[in-house]
Amino acid sequence: MLKGIPAIIPPELLKVLCEMGHGDTLVIGDGNFPAESVGKNSIVIRMDGHGVPEILDAVLKLIPLDQYVEKPVSLMDRVPGDNADVSIWQKYFASLKNAENRGVESVNMLERFEFYDEAKKAYAIIATSEKSQYANIILKKGCVL
């Protein structure tokens, strides 16, 4: 155990977050996200038993978001006609506000396949057990000042 590191962060994720540089991206995928196939050229970290909001909160305690881009966060937008509950996004907006004093204005909405294309470029993907649909999020790492 280390002081100041959220207990939810496994050693492998701590190592990956440390290795990531400015502009590298991290995907936190819900339980339906195809982490292994999308992440075949990335590092895939399994965090089964955890949801996206708790992992997002922990990650944002350790890395800054890119301060040089307007929208360092991307969400997978709902497919047109799909009425899936996306109330989980409100938790994300609250986490961004709490950690970085940023909110919805820092979030880019991506069409499903556009999100997958961006996710394929990620340095790492965290696979979770999140049951909410459209709970996938991409974070662009910033500089520690």
Answer yes or no: is 108 within a domain: yes
Answer yes or no: is 33 within a domain: yes
Look at residue 53 in the predicted model and tell me its pLDDT.
Answer: 98
If 0-12 CB within 10 Å is exposed, 13-18 middle and 19+ buried, where does residue 23 land?
middle
Q: What is the CATH number of the domain that holds 136?
A: 3.40.1650.10
Answer yes or no: is 53 within a domain: yes
Average pLDDT over residues 50-72: 97
Bridge partners of 109, per DSSP, are 75
Look at residue 21 in the predicted model and tell me its pLDDT.
Answer: 97
Q: Contact at 8 Å (CB) between 10 and 47?
A: yes
Q: How confident is the model at residue 129 (pLDDT cuts 50, 70, 90)?
A: very high
Q: How confident is the model at residue 4 (pLDDT cuts 50, 70, 90)?
A: very high
- Note if 22 is an active site residue: yes
Answer yes or no: is 14 within a domain: no
- Count up the domains in the chain and report the number: 1
Catalytic residue among 22, 40, 121, 131: 22
Alpha-carbon distance of 135 to 33, in angstroms, equals 9
Answer yes or no: is 5 within a domain: no
What residue numbers bound the domain in which 115 lies? Answer: 19-140
Look at residue 123 in the predicted model and tell me its pLDDT.
Answer: 98
Alpha-carbon distance of 60 to 67, in angstroms, equals 13
Which position has the token pair 């609250």?
94
Answer yes or no: is 46 within a domain: yes
Answer yes or no: is 4 within a domain: no
Q: How confident is the model at residue 145 (pLDDT cuts 50, 70, 90)?
A: confident
Q: How confident is the model at residue 103 (pLDDT cuts 50, 70, 90)?
A: confident
Look at residue 56 in the predicted model and tell me its pLDDT.
Answer: 98
3-state secondary structure of 20: coil
Q: Could you tell me the two tokens for 136?
A: 């996938």
Answer yes or no: is 96 within a domain: yes
Query: What Rg value do the Cα atoms of the chain yield, rounded?
Result: 14
